[in-house]
Amino acid sequence: NNIVTIFGIPFSKWGMQETVQYLTGAISARKPHQVITANPIMVMAALENPSYKQMMQQADLIVPDGSGVVWASRVGGDPVAERVAGFDLLHELMKEGERHRWRVYLLGASPEVVQEAANRLKMQYPGTEIVGYRDGYFGPEQDDEVIEEVRRTSPDLLFVARGADTQEPWIAKHKQRLAVPVMMGVGGSFDVISG
Ligand code: UDP
């Protein structure tokens, strides 16, 4: 059993390497997975907001992004292997993607930031293909158009950077239509990558 429940949230106990291995399997199987890298702020949000909690519980994999979560699992006597930070997981998946020629779509941040993040990731991981990107400033009336664009490019990985209160519920809501094997919220990662 690779799951430990902390404050009602089922966390994966896997470390980085096993997480990447598992998601590699998800991509070969073409089955849509929502991955949440949950930090203590998101756990707090889940405690305060039942619908956010329910949304998290429906994710396919929740990894412990934060030393607070690692600590809580140790206190509970069923420790997770290590912290699996979203930013690190993004890079590990980009690296693994070079071996498999994975296709990646970047969704979120401002137009300038996401374009620069795409350029830098292309340079750093030339074997992993960035098949599309777009900014994260759109309203629900544009959801259909955005989802169609993502589907058209048929990515293996979809990284969504729109802030934790928006990106996770958005992926959850559109998971079946997006149908990307690995869909993951990455918060402010594109801002960091673009420098
Ligand atoms: N963002 C976005 N659309 C929005 C709000 C935010 O694309 O409507 C982007 C923002 O540009 C940044 C990322 O989401 O790149 C994370 O935003 P923020 O740091 O505000 O959220 P947090 O990670 O703190 O929840």
- Tell me, what CATH number does 162's domain have? 3.40.50
Name the closest-CA residue to atom 22, ligand 1.
Answer: 163
ipTM score of complex: 0.94
Name the closest-CA residue to atom 17, ligand 1.
Answer: 163
Please indicate whether residue 116, judged by its CB atom, sits closer than 6 Å to ligand 1: no
What whole-number distance in Å separates Cα of residue 32 and Cα of residue 50? 24
Q: Is the pLDDT of residue 2 over 90?
A: yes
pLDDT in tens, 84-104: 999 999 999 999 999 999 999
Please indicate whether residue 86, judged by its CB atom, sits closer than 6 Å to ligand 1: no
Extract long-range pairs of 23-27: CB within 8 Å, 24+ residues apart: 23/61, 23/93, 23/181, 23/182, 24/96, 24/100, 26/60, 26/181, 26/182, 27/100, 27/102, 27/156, 27/157, 27/181, 27/182
25: Cα separation from own chain's centroid: 16
pLDDT in tens, 67-88: 999 999 999 999 999 999 999 9
Q: How many domains does the chain have?
A: 1
Q: Look at the chain and count its residues.
A: 195
pLDDT of residue 144: 98
56: Cα separation from own chain's centroid: 12
In terms of residue numbers, what domain contains 48? 3-194
Q: How far apart are the first and last CA of the chain?
A: 39
Please indicate whether residue 187, judged by its CB atom, sits closer than 6 Å to ligand 1: yes
